Amino acid sequence: MFNRIISAIKFLFAKEKELYVFIHGITGFYPLNIDFYKLALVHRSMPVKTSNGRWANNERLEFLGDAILDAVVGAYLYHHYPTKHEGFLTSTRAKIVQRESLNRIGREFRLESHVRASSHSSSHNSYISGNAVEALIGAIYLDRGYETCKDFIEKKIIAEHLNINELIKTEQNYKSRLIEWTQKYRVTIEFQLIDTMNDSDGNPIFKTAVLLGGIYAADGSGYSKKESHQGASRKAYERLKSDKIFREQVLSTALS
């Protein structure tokens, strides 16, 4: 109750009333500290200067939200599917937190329309909405704590924007397919950032290699590390299917 009163008082005198209303429409509550949410909507292409003089964007909040999302979804699946094995839980979680799912949810929240980003990045980076969802989760955690954040993920994301039974039936993304394959055959998997570069407009491009059993499998590039992981995973997965000699080399590294 006290938090609600404080939120209402802050809202009455807030300069960012539109943002307060927008966040309330998504979460069901008004922010206690609006600065977390403002930062969650700042893409790296248009950083803002903080009160301490540093330039900042939403990538740190995205990192935090990603970790919390994984934990909450993992616990949710563990309790809701008590008879399912670890492989099912892993693949289902991957489908829920994959870029495609988060991007769709971000669009349904209309997050991209409030994200501060360069027009070039908005048109070239297909993950802005999904990344903003993770940053929003990080902001909620810092503003309201774990339990409120957990309720938001379970009630506003899973219950209202995901059909898990339908999601279970769909094909996984390539990274989750590759991870599931390595778990099945007890092969180690590692993603290594091997290069970063900039496009003609200065936007960073990441190049990542994937190693299976310590053996180079493929590499991929993208405007985010996650996008480069997907590209490398797709090439590696297809190589396992088409290159018998490579597949046997990888399988020979299986853990006993």
**Do 168 and 92 contact (CB within 8 A), yes or no?**
yes
Compute, in degrees rounded to 10, the torsion defined by CA atoms 57, 59, 64, 67. Answer: 160
Are 206 and 127 in contact, with CB atoms under 8 Å apart?
no
Cα gap 157→136, rounded to integer Å: 12
- In the chain, beta strands by DSSP E: 48-49, 55-56, 189-198, 204-212, 215-222
Q: Specify whether 96 is located in the same domain as 125.
A: yes
Give the domain-ending residue among 127, 143, 169.
169
The domain boundary residue, chosen from 144, 169, 194? 169
Closest CA to 61 of 93, 33, 86, 20: 33
Phi-psi region of 195 (alpha: psi -120 to 50; beta: other; left: phi over 0): beta
Q: Are 100 and 127 in contact (CB under 8 A)?
A: no
**pLDDT by 10s per residue, the chain, length 256:** 556 555 555 554 456 789 999 999 999 999 999 999 999 999 888 888 777 778 889 999 999 999 999 999 999 999 999 998 887 888 788 888 888 889 999 999 999 888 887 765 554 455 789 999 999 999 999 999 999 999 999 999 999 999 988 887 765 578 888 998 999 899 999 999 999 998 777 878 999 999 999 999 999 998 888 889 988 999 999 999 889 999 999 999 998 6
**Domain assignment of residue 200, given as a range:** 174-251
C-alpha atoms less than 13 angstroms from C-alpha of 179 in its C-beta half-sphere: 19
Report how many domains make up the chain. Answer: 2
**Residue closest to 246 by CA, chosen among 218, 204, 205:** 218
256 found inside a domain: no
Catalogue the active-site residues: 66, 134
Q: Looking at the structure, tell me whether residues 247 and 184 fall in a common domain.
A: yes
Q: Which of these, 247, 231, 242, lies nearest to 173 by C-alpha position?
A: 231
Which residue is associated with the tokens 């935090």?
64
d(CA 154, CA 84): 19
Whether pTM > 0.75 for this model: the answer is no
Task: Answer yes or no: do 86 and 126 share one domain.
Answer: yes
Q: Are residues 126 and 179 in the same domain?
A: no
* Backbone Cα Rg of the chain: 20
My answer on whether 89 and 205 are in the same domain is no
How far is residue 228's CA from residue 221's CA, in Å, rounded to a whole number?
4
Three-state SS string over 160-177 comes to HHCCHHHHHHCCCCHHHH
**Alpha-carbon span 212 to 182, nearest angstrom:** 8
Contacts of 15 (CB under 8 A, 6+ apart): none
Task: Give the Cα separation of 127 and 62 in Å (integer).
Answer: 12
What is the rounded CA–CA span in Å between residue 247 and residue 29?
52
CATH number of the domain that residue 153 is part of: 1.10.1520.10
